[in-house]
Amino acid sequence: MKAIFISYNMTLTERIQWLLDHYTVRGFTLFPLTHGRGSFDGEPHMGTHTWPAMNSTIIAMMDDDKAEKFMNALRTLDKETHMQGMRAFMWDITEQL
pLDDT digits (tens, 9 = 90+) for 18-40: 999 999 999 999 999 998 887 77
**pLDDT given for residue 39 in this prediction:** 73
Contact 32, 56 (CB under 8 A): yes
CA distance 27 to 83: 28
Average of per-residue pLDDT values in the chain: 92
Q: Tell me the mean pLDDT in the region 32-61.
A: 86
Looking only at the bridges linking them, the beta strands covering 55-62 and 28-34 are: antiparallel
User: What single letter denotes the amino acid at residue 23?
Assistant: Y
The residue-averaged pLDDT of 6-13 equals 95
Half-sphere exposure of 20 (CA within 13 A, CB side): 19
